[in-house]
């Protein structure tokens, strides 16, 4: 490709709207442009990287025995009503009616559609296992689209769905997908970790998320420094504390004036106590009904754990208005005594004595509050976020809590969808059975952003070779010089004919501008044809990642580049 003909609008300035480096660089390097909130156009460079990731995904999915198909994006409401998700899915599902008043939605995911397809077309155990996938644009009306390709409303996903005859077979498929995912992300040059994830209300099942470690990740993950334990925050268990050998004597309940002291920091400083002597009372709406959740002052409620403990579909932290108007309580001074709503407690709270809590009265806290004597709880369990001072639930080793970007998610679904949609097959005894399903997603477009978060410097992107839009950028440093231009053109022809993705910067621009743009767009190898070629028949090759340069005779340049590309590729897992 000739740069002079390419739509590649690079920007000198960092766009103010972009907070994280991948978003900034994708805009500056001319990979994407925003149409409207969370919706982006892929310019030629962006599309090339997207297609390279898709190709790796395809190869590995096919290798693992999955088959590609392409499902409709518009989905009829009645399918979603059958699965029960038409109501449950929430406002991320973009619903609309067509001219015949038929309710429809834009596909955020395709469990319903694929299950419908399979129930109509697959009837016998002899046709199983079946693993189907597609690479397609999804639409989710995200409440807070942000960070460019990281969290879009429209984004490209690989979604796969497996159908097996029984749990054991589904387990084999799941493990195959887990291996395929590890290969996919390694081949994309992403450093990734599989972590255990929450399976929500579909009990007894299994799920892993694939996390690219990066400081800008939206998720925090919990990893053990001593063993292989790794989980996301929703899943990372905090085992119950050992029961105290002797409980301290219950002291007399005291009211203390705490004017204006609301937060844990304020109250502990004001009373001269530590946060672990205080209990935080958090009001949530669980499927719309208020519930109070108690955690120790130095802990935070994990909403998914709360949701699972309560066995509800949705929990939402109550705002100040709800607390005042619906619950008739005082934000900042909440406590468990005298509440009429259900009270649930983290199991760390269950071993506390003489706690400090709010008094459910403006400017007042209570001291020496005791469970049993002063209030009761309806349920206790693991409700809180793990912290770096907790120890590993598997080996008691030290935990770390790095941040990560979720690029993939695999999930053993069991029979929840096949039962809801009555998708069945005849087993080898002629008995009707629901398919045992799994689903497997990859955020293909999000992977571009994740790769940049992991691979960049002050000058721009440093693409891993397998997903770089071009492998080589060839700079003609003197486009007005006929001899140099002929040399550059010939090398470009040779590289292209040898199957190397080459971008030829033939623009009438100063070398400095070409160097800057080449660094910004992150092409792994840069070849420079300039004065040196005119004087000594030599070209210079520079590696984007290491900055290493070497000078070679033009005659051997193509061979040298091919060899360098091979060397870089063998450093990465083989295709
Ligand atoms: P998240 O927790 O980030 O919202 P999710 O659990 O909703 O993700 P899945 O439904 O498992 O995501 O989707 C499969 C994959 O699609 C995710 O692992 C992620 O990489 C990608 N993905 C999900 N939502 C978005 C989005 N809004 N923009 C870009 N990629 C996304
Ligand atoms: Mg989501």
* Mean pLDDT for the stretch of residues 384-398: 94
Q: Does residue 572 register a pLDDT over 60?
A: no
Interatomic CA distance for residues 327 and 483, integer angstroms: 82
- Residue-range domain boundaries for the chain: 11-237+401-453, 254-381, 470-571
CA of 290 to the centre of ligand 2 (A): 25
Return the CATH architecture of domain 254-381: Alpha-Beta Complex (3.90)
C-beta separation of 334 from 323 below 8 A? yes
Residue 395 phi, psi dihedral angles, 5° rounding: -130, 5
Residue nearest to atom 28 of ligand 1 (CA): 151
Band of pLDDT at residue 23, cut at 50, 70 and 90: very high
CATH code: domain 11-237+401-453 is 3.30.930.10
CA of 73 to the centre of ligand 1 (A): 17
pLDDT of residue 276: 95
* Mean pLDDT for the stretch of residues 494-516: 97
Q: What is the pLDDT of residues 474-494, one digit of tens each?
A: 999 999 999 999 999 999 999
Among 157, 216, 233, 412, the mutation site with the greatest number of ligand 1 atoms within 8 A of its Cβ is 157
Cβ-Cβ contacts under 8 Å for 272 (sequence gap 6 or more): none
Ligand nearest to the CA of 109: 1
Ligand nearest to the CA of 145: 1
Q: Does residue 447 register a pLDDT over 80?
A: yes
Band of pLDDT at residue 267, cut at 50, 70 and 90: very high
Band of pLDDT at residue 521, cut at 50, 70 and 90: very high
Among 441, 447, 450, the mutation site with the greatest number of ligand 1 atoms within 8 A of its Cβ is 441
* Mean pLDDT for the stretch of residues 79-96: 94
Interatomic CA distance for residues 119 and 112, integer angstroms: 11
CA of 258 to the centre of ligand 1 (A): 44
CA of 108 to the centre of ligand 2 (A): 9
Q: What is the pLDDT of residues 422-439, one digit of tens each?
A: 999 999 999 999 999 999
The 3-class SS string of 404-449 reads: EEEEEEEEEEECHHHHHCCCEEECCCCCEEECEEEEEEEEHHHHHH
Atom of ligand 1 nearest to the CA of 407: 20
Residue nearest to atom 2 of ligand 1 (CA): 406
pLDDT of residue 198: 86
CA of 420 to the centre of ligand 1 (A): 24
Atom of ligand 1 nearest to the CA of 151: 28
Atom of ligand 1 nearest to the CA of 447: 20
Among 94, 234, 446, the mutation site with the greatest number of ligand 1 atoms within 8 A of its Cβ is 446
pLDDT of residue 200: 66
CA of 29 to the centre of ligand 2 (A): 27
* Mean pLDDT for the stretch of residues 191-219: 85
pLDDT of residue 92: 95
Ligand nearest to the CA of 445: 1
Residue nearest to atom 14 of ligand 1 (CA): 441
CA of 291 to the centre of ligand 2 (A): 25
CA of 555 to the centre of ligand 1 (A): 48
Nearest to 117 by CA among 139, 140, 133: 133
Residues with CB under 6 A from ligand 1: 109, 140, 142, 151-152, 155, 157, 406-409, 441, 443, 445-446
Q: Does residue 311 register a pLDDT over 50?
A: yes
Ligand nearest to the CA of 450: 1
CA of 422 to the centre of ligand 1 (A): 27
pLDDT of residue 191: 93
Tokens of 165: 């005859």
Nearest to 402 by CA among 217, 194, 234: 217
- Residues constituting the chain: 575
Three-state secondary structure call for residue 54: helix
Q: Does residue 574 register a pLDDT over 50?
A: no
Q: What is the mean pLDDT of the chain?
A: 95
Among 406, 411, 445, 447, the mutation site with the greatest number of ligand 1 atoms within 8 A of its Cβ is 406
Q: Does residue 137 register a pLDDT over 50?
A: yes
What are the distances in angstroms from CA 337 to CA 222, 249, 353, 415?
34, 19, 14, 43
Atom of ligand 1 nearest to the CA of 441: 14
pLDDT of residue 206: 85
Atom of ligand 1 nearest to the CA of 153: 27
Residue nearest to atom 21 of ligand 1 (CA): 443
Band of pLDDT at residue 564, cut at 50, 70 and 90: very high
Residue nearest to atom 22 of ligand 1 (CA): 443
Candidates 3.40.50.720, 1.10.645.10, 3.50.50.60, 3.40.50.800; CATH matching 470-571: 3.40.50.800
């Amino acid at each position: 490709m000739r740069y002079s003909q390419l739509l590649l609008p690079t920007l000198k300035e960092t766009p103010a709207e972009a907070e994280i480096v991948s978003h900034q660089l994708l805009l500056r390097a001319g990979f994407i442009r925003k149409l409207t909130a969370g919706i982006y156009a892929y310019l030629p460079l962006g599309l090339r990287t997207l297609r390279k990731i898709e190709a790796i995904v395809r190869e590995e999915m096919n290798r693992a025995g999955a088959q590609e198909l392409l499902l409709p994006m518009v989905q009829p409401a009645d399918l979603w009503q059958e699965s029960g998700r038409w109501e449950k899915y929430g406002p991320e599902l973009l619903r609309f009616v067509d001219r015949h008043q038929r309710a429809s939605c834009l596909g955020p995911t395709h469990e319903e559609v694929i299950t419908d397809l399979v129930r109509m077309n697959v009837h016998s155990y002899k046709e199983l296992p079946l693993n189907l996938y597609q690479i397609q644009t999804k639409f989710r009306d995200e409440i807070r689209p942000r960070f460019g390709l990281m969290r879009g409303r429209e984004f490209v996903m690989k979604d796969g769905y497996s159908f097996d005859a029984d749990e054991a077979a589904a387990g084999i498929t799941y493990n195959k997908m887990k291996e395929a995912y590890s290969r996919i992300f390694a081949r994309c040059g992403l450093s990734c970790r599989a972590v255990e994830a929450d399976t929500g209300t579909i009990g007894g099942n299994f799920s892993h998320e694939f996390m690219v470690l990066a400081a800008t990740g939206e998720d925090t993950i919990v990893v053990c420094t001593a063993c292989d334990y790794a989980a996301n925050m929703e899943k990372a268990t905090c085992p119950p504390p050992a029961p105290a050998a002797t409980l301290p004597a219950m002291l007399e309940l005291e009211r203390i004036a705490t004017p204006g002291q609301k937060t844990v920091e304020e109250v502990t400083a004001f009373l001269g106590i530590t946060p672990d002597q205080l209990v935080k009372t958090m009001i949530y709406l669980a499927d719309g009904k208020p519930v109070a959740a108690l955690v120790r002052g130095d802990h935070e409620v994990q909403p998914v754990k709360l949701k699972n403990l309560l066995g509800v579909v949705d929990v939402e932290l109550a705002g100040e208005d709800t607390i005042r108007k619906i619950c008739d309580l005082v934000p900042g001074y909440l406590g468990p005594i005298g509440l009429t709503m259900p009270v649930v407690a983290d199991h760390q709270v269950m071993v506390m004595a003489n706690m400090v809590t709010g008094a459910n009265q403006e400017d007042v806290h209570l001291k020496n509050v005791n469970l049993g004597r002063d209030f009761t709880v309806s349920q206790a369990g693991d409700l809180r976020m793990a912290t770096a001072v907790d120890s590993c639930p598997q080996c008691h080793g030290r935990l770390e809590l790095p941040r990560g970007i979720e690029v993939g998610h695999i999930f053993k679904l069991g029979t929840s969808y096949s039962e809801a949609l009555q998708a069945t097959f005849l087993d080898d005894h002629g008995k009707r059975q629901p398919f045992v399903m799994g689903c497997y997603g990859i955020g293909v477009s999000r992977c571009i952003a994740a790769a940049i978060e992991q691979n960049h410097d002050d000058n721009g992107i440093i693409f891993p070779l397998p997903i770089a839009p071009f492998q080589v950028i060839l700079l003609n440093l003197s486009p007005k010089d006929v001899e140099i231009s002929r040399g550059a053109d010939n090398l470009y022809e040779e590289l292209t004919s040898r199957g190397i993705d080459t971008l030829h910067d033939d623009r009438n621009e100063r070398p400095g501008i070409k160097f800057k743009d080449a660094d910004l767009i992150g092409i792994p190898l840069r070849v420079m044809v300039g004065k040196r070629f005119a004087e000594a028949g030599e070209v210079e090759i520079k590696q984007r990642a290491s900055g290493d340069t070497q000078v070679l005779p033009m005659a051997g340049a193509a061979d040298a580049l091919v060899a360098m590309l091979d060397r870089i590729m063998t450093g990465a897992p083989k295709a």
